[in-house]
Structure 1
Amino acid sequence: MTTYMCDFKQFPETYKGFELISINTIPDCASTGIYLRHKKTGLEVFHLLNDDEENLFAFAFRTPAKNSTGAAHILEHSVFCGSQKFPLKEPFTNMMNQSVNTFLNALTYSDKTVYPSASMIKSDYYNLMDVYADAVFFPLLKKEAFMQEAHRLELNENGNFEIQGVVYNEMKGNYSSFESVASDAQIRSVYPDTNYAFDSGGDPEHIPSFSYEDFRNFHKKYYRPDNCLLFLYGNIRTEEQLDFLQEHLLDRLEKTVPMAEEHHSYPFVSPEFIEMETQKPFENPVTVRAEAPDAGATGATVTVNWLCGQTADLQSYMECAFLSEVLSGHDGSPLTKALIDSDLGDDIAPVSGCINEARQFFFALGLHGVKTRNEKKVYALIFKELERLCTKGIDQNDIDSAIMTAEFSNREAVRSGGPYSLVLLERALNSWNYGGAPADGLFYRSTFDIIRKNCEAEPKYVENLIKKYLLDNKNCSFVMVKPSKKYLSARNKAEKKLIASLSKTADRNIIQKELDELHSYQNHRETEEEVACIPRLNISDLNTNVEKIHTEINVVDANGASVPLFTNTENTNGIAYLELWIPADVLSPEEYKYLPLYAYCAPNTGWNGKDWAECAQETAVHTGGITCRLFTNTSPNTEKSAALRKSLSKYNCTDRDWLIFSVRMTGEKTDDALKVFAECFSTYNFSDTKRLATLTAEAYGTIKSAVIPRGNKLAGTRAQAVKTHTNTVDEIWKGITQLFAIKAISEENPKNLSEHFSALTEKLRSAGALIHITADSETMQNLLPKMNDFASGLRLVPPAEKTVADEAAFLRQIVLPGEKEPCRNETFVISSQVGYAAAAINSSYFGTAENPSELVLSHYLSGTSLWERIRTTGGAYGAYAGCANLSGLFVLTTYRDPAPQKSLKTFGECLKDAAENPIGQDELLRMITGTYGDEVQPRSPYGRGNIGLIRTLYCISDEERQQKLTGLLNVTAEQIQQTAMHIHSHFDTCRTAVLCNKSEKITGVIIDLPL
């Protein structure tokens, strides 16, 4: 038997029906790639074996769209609505309720559907894999699940027909966002003759034409093992995982699924599954003009888009990605600067750069917020600048800054909504999904080294890339999407017409019978005997000790001043994160509303007399970026917290509101990075009023465009706004208050704004600061000796005393037009086909005996009654409960909700049910396990350093965190019921906020949002 050597182990040529295709050492991700194929079923497996304890699996299927009915998206939702081994309504929700997963989701792409999950605990990982495997290969696909998730005719309270369905309403939310519609038009423009021209998520105007028969046939065609790519990642041995698959999945597949053909050459994929079409070359560039909802838009989005190459060709993709960084990686990059300086639009288009989510990747450049009749000027400017760059050459600093960006991208392990292994999964699929080897998509560092050497060896290398991919490329589209007030009204009319058409042929008796069956299905509460089929952990399997993060406290000598220095030593792979935390609470409450824009502008307006673009270029060449942000939090009101506060009193740094300047730097370039950061921090100014006006327009546009997709966050922040100082400040900085504030600020004369910001700068520069560093041991030891000189050069002093807070003055800042005070029930009118609801109810605080039971209750409600009543029955995309325990609030929210006003009433009903119906012991244990999983999510190295500092500054002790975890693991059913009773008793006095359109039955104070 042949064996293959790798860094970690040996692997046989064949193993239990699997044949080894290849084995690769992949230094780019410190792993060994083991690629196998199951000979009988055709299932392909790729394992990135390494020493990471956070193991991840993902079942991926090629699912090219044939129309815009959302077939792939609907199947993604529906396979989790019961399977052969787990014949429950939603095994996915059961696992969500009781697993300690670090990631649990399913994702629909334009040409594939991916089912990933991850866990730090091996037994939990296998439990998840068992449920996922059965769901994707052996789903029940009941008619009721189809009606619930896809679409159905529903009789409303007035006896009239309406269309409901989770995916249907989710996509109504997507088509209510200008940015989403504009981005879709842009992407489809480069693939007009392929399946990518369709919406794999589903267009609500087409979703109702997708039949139940289509639904079942789609699964039969695409959810086959020989169309499945199973990605594995982590430290569990490959053989052990194959053993599990053979026992729990493959034996069954061999008996029930037609066998794959024997393949004796590579690639093994059946041609019928490589249906992702390649766009034929354009004879000439194409022009696309479209409309989108006007909500949040300040003008049209105008882009030029080039189809550049095959996504599986990593060399070509990386060349294009590098070119994107050179041309438009930061505000000072040549093409970005030309577009911003043109005053033709407000900001760079959201979909810009190199996009690789289809069989072919494309390159996009353009502007957002373009006024009428300026679109052709945008196109002309882009080509004029590209021609100029090819003629006059690329500045070496622009090349160096792109190289620095790549250096950070290759070193930094970032958790963005899940483990870093998700990034590696997508990279592997970029080759694997199109018939290539999965490992071929992972050699990012190696491929970039080739590009770096080409830059050094070929004087016109980048200029030649511009010609190859852009100037000489006729596969190009010119896209202009303008906001229209008629867009949503036209879709509303189309929906009414569709309902009328469907109702003409509908038999009310049949529909009512099907609805009765659906509601019976939805209302069925599974018994403990039924739920027992779902595998779960025991409480005894859980680590009962909280994770501790050590934050060391010292001082830096800055010309005799002792400036606090907080450090966290973490495995950052040679990257250092240095931050200066400046107390913002030296300012008046009236000045707080300016701080979000101030923070956005400060590192982006130029310093030390230099142009902002020159400063942006210096920053990009020597650092991983300089940013500025705001932060506030609340300390627990406990004895231990008070003791910690007393021990830190000499640093004057607890319970503060902060403005934070940050820089990322590699260990090798700390001297250069510190020099640039110090110059920025000590001399940034707002004298360039044109730049200030540009940044203000960008910030206003960003906030406006985020209202529709982030409506649940805005509603939740608003509902919590008055409880504590932190809640009020969050509303001023991040909430609806900031939308009104920045609208008013954008109307100010830039010269007046410059003067106002300069006055704020004087106050903030005299407010003192603390220093925080997160780095690995070697980088930390290199950096610490430099801190005295760094702090002295900046003339830092310790944090000053904060201004005595006038909380009434802070509350006045969140009073909106039409109000005399912040009202308890507010409705904000938006132009959208779906809405968002939130309620904030008084509850207990961190450190109290009641808090653990509230955590379990919130997890319980999110996965049971809220999910069942608002999502599955009501058709909303999401409904959630959570504890803001430092503020003493229990918060309920909905997302993309067809009836948000109705959901407010449902919130109370769900709490009442929990108060009246005690939870069973087995269900309680499952909920405790799931809640535990919510509390112990892993963090990136920087994230660990950041949370370590926050716990220190806000006096959150490890002892009280341990008490909370211990209390959580010992919560009783009686405590849950008492907690529900207590919170429900406060429901009538809760604060609510709703974002919805005018057709809703609106209650409370009504406020039109300035969109």
Structure 2
Amino acid sequence: QSEIPMQKPFQQVKELVMEYPVSENEPTEENSYLSYNLVVGDSLDVEKCTAFEVLDYVLLSEPGAPLKQALLDAGLGKDILGSYEDGIYQPFFSIVAKNARPEDKDRFVDLIKETLEKIVKEGIDQKAVAAGINYMEFRFREADFSSFPKGLMYGIDVFDSWLYDEGRPFDHLKKLGIFDKLKKEAKTGYFENLIEEYFLNNTHGSVVVVNPKRGLAAQREKELEEKLAAYKASLSPKEQEKLVKDTVHLKEYQDSPESQEALNTIPLLKREDISRKAGRLYNTEKHCQDTLILHHDLDTNGIGYLELLFDTKQVPERLVPYMGILKSVLGYVDTENFTYGELSNEINSRSGGIYFGVQVFGNAWDNKKTVHMLGIKAKALYQDIPFVFRMIKEILGTSRLGDEKRLYEIIARMKSRQQMSMASAGHSTAVMRALSYFSETACFQEKVAGIDFYRLLDDLEKNFQERKEGLIAALKELIHYIFRPENLMVSYTSDEAGYHGLEGEIRELKAGLCTEEIQGEPAVSVFEVKNEGFQTSGQVQYVAAAGNFAEAGYHYTGALRILKVMLSYEYLWMNIRVKGGAYGCMSSFRRNGDSFLVSYRDPNLRKTLEVFQKTGDFIRSFQADEREMTKYIIGTISELDTPLTPSAKGSMSLNAWFSQVKEEDLQQEREQILDAGPQDIRNLAELVDAVMKQNRFCVIGSEEKLQQEKELFQEMKYLL
């Protein structure tokens, strides 16, 4: 049993008011956060942990969830988030209102309690509970952790109980019996009792209000400078001298390599230990009438992974950004036979979900060629694939796109989530923006998911009454442009038994698609190097430099994969992270020439761009013996040989088909990696120089820092 003591429950719920920084351009009205947080149980009670995950789904996460909807309907925030944090000894449950008013704090708490009391009295929605349990059980059985190894993820799960009781390492891996028990207990008032005990009669919690404040970032920076100046003044000359010497010693230590003797103690594979055979692609072309089906024949343990892809090449330029909205509307509005909440529960009760998204497939050999599709992804047991098709037909054919109240809720939520995404993943936002100056793939992604797309959401949310009719008209137009029989192709991952019956479902789906005549106007991208700086209220930068080596006449080689590893863990790591103080750094060199270097949570700006510019010099002087070179090759191959789930193998094969990458291309790349020597790396110096000389960059960072370096930019704007 853990020696970590339990925190004693509070006698009454604590309240706290805090501040967070916003830029001069961001509003302070209706921009606060309200949160109600409760400590619920402990991590050794796996049944309760699982039950609270179900409650998160039922009360807050699913579309139309009653607690979320009550708060939205009352105007207590434009986005409602729920979270259950169970990776600690005493888990806690949070209900958060974003874009709220601080004076609504008491109404926020009161309405939460009133809504929960009503649910306890009238009974929880049994269909929603069943859907939540089924959805979690499906994901638990599937155990699809994307590119992360299963063993690693299971190992992390083990710590949820093992940290607190050394005799119980596997509790969180044995949930199947718990799912069965919860299904039975749901009808006996189990979840209502949990709500009453932990949400309504629990004082071990907090109400937190976080208000925006302009100038707070600069104020904190000034306070830190004053604190450091005061500390320096308190030191004697001898102490100051020691501090300088220690700093010099640290920099010398950072610059000095490990001794060869120490490095030789690390066990190491040899090149010949690594398989020279590249991974295979799983693409079998089949046809249903005039529709192409890419079947990825794999053992999926009885699960069918379906992707319906509709070509959007006929969508006019004026409607392209609205595709980013349509994919978030479909499945989240009422249909002929279901409210949007019922629709979600119906889908999740018999499948692993149905998701809409905009897919952009770049050509591996030409960065000006792309295919954009609106995709519908679904996964279900083989016997439930017909059910999935029925639900897709329900959504495509009968969605109520004119529900103004619901559309506003969706737009406000999208704007909120886009804000959070751009703030938390500023490096991705900066890279996409920099690449959009010259790359067709990135330019299209920018229109449907980038900064330009955020500007559209912001305008629609702020001026909804004036824009709503145009929005509804655009969504309805898109349905007719996109969901047409001639636009459809299908990607399906299953074994041969799972493929049986698929073509009949496709024929039925096509029969209900749009066929009326349209006038297609293919969208045309306009490229312009803007070298923008986007100001935020944060204190760090995301610095991205991008270019295309194919423009300068260079060709892709597998050695570029090795270079990516070298830069990310050697040159960029040492100069951007270790010496520069950034949290991270990344690089990429794609087959079509598109390339970038980027820093993550970086205190610097100009200094980082200078490091990027000198990358070619590092490559030109690169030296390595066989042992050192082999280490880089092993690191590169480890990325290529990441264990893939059947679903991931299907997706990889689909991407290769669209990008026109063949198995022989993968084999050539692998051989170039395994046979590479130091000279192959040095030969890339001019290629990287050419990319950096194109001088294309984008920075997202602190208002103060960007103002200090404003002469670097062609354009300066606020991010939000």
Q: TM-score, normalised by structure 2?
A: 0.91
Aligned partner letter, 1:982: L
Matched residue, 1:258:
none
The alignment status of 1:907 with 2:590, answered yes or no, reads no
> Which of 472, 488, 496 does residue 769 from structure 1 map onto?
488
**Aligned-pair CA distance for 1:668:** 4.2
Q: Does 1:928 align with 2:633?
A: yes
Q: Which residue does the alignment assign to 1:617?
A: 345
Displacement of 1:494 in angstroms is 2.6
Classify the secondary structure of the residue corresponding to 1:586.
coil
Instruction: Tell me, in whole angstroms, the C-alpha distance in 2 between the residues paired with 1:1008 and 1:666.
Output: 49
Q: 2:50, 2:644 → 1: CA distance?
A: 28
Contact 1:333 1:617 in 2 (8 A): no
Matched, 1:896 2:624: no
Q: Distance in 1 between matches of 2:157 and 2:565?
A: 33
2:331 matched residue in structure 1: 603
Q: What residue in structure 1 maps to residue 303 of structure 2?
A: 575
- In the TM superposition, what are the counterparts of 1:402-413 in structure 2 within 5 Å? 402-413=132-143
Structure 1 residues 360 and 609: alpha-carbon distance in aligned structure 2, compared to 1, 3 A threshold: same
Equivalent position SS for 1:405: helix
Separation in structure 2 between the aligned mates of residue 795 and residue 447 of structure 1, nearest angstrom? 42
Which aligned pairs between 1:175-254 and structure 2 lie closer than 5 A?
none
> Are the structure 2 counterparts of residues 837 and 615 from structure 1 closer, same or farther at C-alpha, using a change threshold of 3 Å?
same
Q: Which runs of 5+ in 1 are unaligned?
A: 1-266, 268-273, 642-653, 812-820
2:154 to 413, 424, 433: 424
Confirm or deny: 8 A CA contact 2:532 2:717 kept in the other structure: no
Shift of 1:843: 1.7
Whether the aligned pair in 2 keeps the contact of 1:628 and 1:659 (CA below 8 Å) is: yes
Structure 1 pair 532–733 and aligned structure 2 pair: CA distance change class (3 A): farther
Q: Read off the aligned partner of 1:377 and give its amino acid letter.
A: R
Q: Calculate the aligned-residue CA RMSD, in Å.
A: 2.8
Question: In the alignment, is residue 843 of structure 1 matched against residue 549 of structure 2?
Answer: yes
Map of 2:211 onto structure 1: 482
Q: Among 408, 418, 423, which residue is 1:693 paired with?
A: 408
- CA gap of 1:796–1:945, structure 2 versus 1, over 3 A, is farther
- Amino acid aligned to 2:669: K
Q: Report the equivalent of 1:757.
A: 475
Q: Distance in 2 between matches of 1:611 and 1:534?
A: 60
Determine the structure 2 residue equivalent to 1:451: 182
2:718 counterpart residue number: 1009
What is the aligned partner in structure 1 of residue 4 from structure 2?
276
Alignment of structure 1 residues 319-330 onto 2, 5 Å: 319-330=51-62
**1:504-538: CA deviations, max 9, x gaps?**
13433222211221121112244655533332211
| CA 970–322 in structure 1, closer or farther in 2 if over 3 Å, else same | same
Deviations along 1:29-75, whole A, 9 cap, x unmatched?
xxxxxxxxxxxxxxxxxxxxxxxxxxxxxxxxxxxxxxxxxxxxxxx
> TM-score of the superposition, structure 1-length normalised?
0.66
Q: Cα–Cα, structure 1 residues 856 and 478, in superposed 2: closer, same or farther, change >3 Å? A: same
Q: Is the 8 A contact 1:840 1:891 kept in 2?
A: yes
Q: Does the aligned pair in 2 maintain the 1:770–1:799 contact within 8 Å?
A: no
Q: Distance in 2 between matches of 1:905 and 1:410?
A: 47
Secondary structure of the equivalent of 1:428?
helix
Distance 1:655-1:894 versus aligned 2 partners, 3 A rule: closer
Counterpart-to-counterpart distance in 2, 1:632 and 1:424 = 32
Cα distance between partner residues in 1 of 2:393 and 2:258: 61
CA distance in 2, matches of 1:954, 1:591: 25
Deviations 1:74-93 (A, max 9, x none): xxxxxxxxxxxxxxxxxxxx
Q: RCO greater where, 1 or 2, for CA within 8 Å and sep 6 or more?
A: 2
* Contact 1:835–1:899 (Cα < 8 Å) also in 2: yes
Residue type matched to 1:710 in 2?
A: A
2: distance between equivalents of 1:949 and 1:796? 26
Structure 2 contact 554–687 (Cα < 8 Å) conserved: no
Secondary structure in 2 matching 1:898: coil
**Distance in 2 (alpha carbons) for counterparts of 1:542 and 1:798:** 56
Structure 2 contact 62–341 (Cα < 8 Å) conserved: no
Given the superposition, is the C-alpha separation of residues 1006 and 795 from structure 1 closer, same or farther in structure 2, using an over 3 Å criterion?
A: closer
> Is 2:571 the counterpart of 1:857?
no
Indicate which of 611, 633, 649 corresponds to 1:944. 649
CA–CA separation in structure 1 for the residues paired with 2:477 and 2:627: 61
Query: Which structure 2 residues correspond to residues 816-831 of structure 1 after superposition, within 5 A?
Result: 821-823=528-530, 825-831=531-537
2:354 alignment partner, one of 626, 629, 645: 626
1:468 to 166, 191, 197: 197
Assess, with a 3 A threshold, how the Cα gap between structure 1 residues 598 and 796 changes in structure 2: closer, same or farther: closer
Residue 612 of structure 1: CA displacement? 2.7
* Paired residues of 2:549 and 2:690 also in contact (CA < 8 A): no
Deviation of 1:462 after TM superposition, in Å, equals: 2.7
Alignment of 1:16-27 (within 5 A): none
1:745 is matched with which residue? 460
The one-letter code of the counterpart of 1:292 is: Y
Q: Secondary structure at the match of 1:660?
A: strand
Give the equivalent residue in structure 1 for 2:432: 717
SS of the equivalent of 1:288 reads strand
Q: For 1:788 and 1:986, how far apart are their aligned partners in 2?
A: 45
Aligned counterpart in structure 2 of residue 355 of structure 1, from 66, 81, 85? 85
Tell me by how many angstroms 1:335 deviates: 2.0
Secondary structure of the equivalent of 1:733? Answer: helix
How far does residue 539 in structure 1 lie from its aligned partner after superposition? 0.9
CA distance in 2, matches of 1:903, 1:340: 43
**In the alignment, which of 494, 504, 528 is matched to residue 233 of structure 2?**
504
SS at match of 1:976: helix
Contact preservation (8 Å) 2:315, 2:523: no
Match of 1:239 in 2: none
Residue in structure 1 matched with residue 277 of structure 2 by the alignment: 545
SS of structure 1 residue aligned to 2:568: helix
Contact 1:323 1:465 in 2 (8 A): no
- Separation of aligned partners in 2, 1:790 and 1:946: 25
Matches within 5 A, 1:620-699: 620-637=348-365, 655-699=370-414
> Match for residue 50 of structure 2?
318
CA shift in 2, pair 1:396/1:673, >3 Å:
farther
Equivalent residue for 1:125?
none
State, as a whole percentage, how many aligned pairs show the same letter. 24
Please give the alpha-carbon distance, in whole angstroms, between the structure 2 residues aligned to 1:759 and 1:985: 44
Matched residue type, 1:591: L
Question: Contact 1:405–1:620 (CA<8 Å) still a contact in 2?
Answer: yes
> Structure 2 vs 1, CA of residues 449 and 776 (structure 1 numbering), >3 Å: closer, same or farther?
farther
SS at match of 2:98: strand
* Shift in CA distance, 1004/880, structure 1 to aligned 2, threshold 3 Å: same
Instruction: Return the alpha-carbon distance in structure 2 between the equivalents of residues 992 and 964 of structure 1.
Output: 29
What's 2:246 paired with?
514
Query: How big is each residue's C-alpha offset from its partner over 1:845-876, in whole Å with a ceiling of 9 and x where there is no partner?
Result: 9x986422222222212221211111111111
For residues 322 and 461 of structure 2, the distance between their equivalents in structure 1, rounded to whole angstroms, comes to 11
Kept in 2: contact 1:583–1:800 (CA 8 A): no
What is the CA distance between 1:778 and its match in structure 2?
Answer: 4.4
Give the C-alpha shift of residue 545 in structure 1: 1.0
Structure having the larger proportion of residues in helix: 2
User: Does the 8 A contact of 1:366 with 1:378 survive in 2?
Assistant: no
Equivalent-residue separation in structure 1 for 2:704 and 2:216 (angstroms):
16
| Alpha-carbon distance in 2 for matches of 1:604, 1:1007 | 36
Which residue of 2 is the match for residue 807 of structure 1?
A: 525
Match of 1:532 among 255, 264, 285: 264
| Residue 805 of structure 1: how far off its partner (Å) | 5.1
Number of residue equivalences = 703
What does the per-residue CA deviation read over 1:649-689, in whole Å, with 9 as the maximum and x for residues that have no partner? Answer: xxxxx952111122232334334333222211222242111
Which of 399, 420, 423 aligns to 2:129? It is 399
Distance 1:487 1:773 in 2: 52
For 1:985 and 1:398, how far apart are their aligned partners in 2? 56
